[in-house]
């Protein structure tokens, strides 16, 4: 990974975080499980692009 690059950032409001924290643990785990399951169904090309973006190999366009 390039120094100081990679990954991504996004903003989540304190209210949204508080709301998420009120979810029962089972619901939070189910949400994560299905998000990961959905990602596994993506085409290989999409996964490669996402992984390159996370490593900082490519920059987002605007």
Per-residue pLDDT of the chain (62 residues; tens, 9 = 90+): 445 566 667 789 999 999 999 999 999 999 999 999 999 999 999 999 988 888 888 877 76
Determine if the pTM surpasses 0.85: no
- Asked if the structure places residue 50 within a domain, the reply is yes
Domain of 61 in residue numbering reads as: 24-62
Residue 7 makes CB contacts below 8 A (sequence gap 6+) with 54, 56
* Tally of structural domains, the chain: 1
| Torsion from C-alpha of 20, 5, 52, 47, nearest 10 degrees | 0
- Asked if the structure places residue 31 within a domain, the reply is yes
- Asked if the structure places residue 18 within a domain, the reply is no
Q: What is the model's pLDDT at position 57? A: 87
């Amino acid at each position: 990974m390039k120094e100081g690059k990679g990954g991504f950032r996004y903003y989540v409001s304190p209210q949204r975080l508080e709301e998420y924290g009120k979810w029962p643990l089972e619901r939070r785990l189910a949400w994560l499980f299905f998000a990961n399951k959905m990602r596994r169904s993506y085409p290989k090309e999409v996964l490669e692009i996402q992984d390159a973006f996370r490593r900082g190999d490519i920059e987002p366009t605007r």
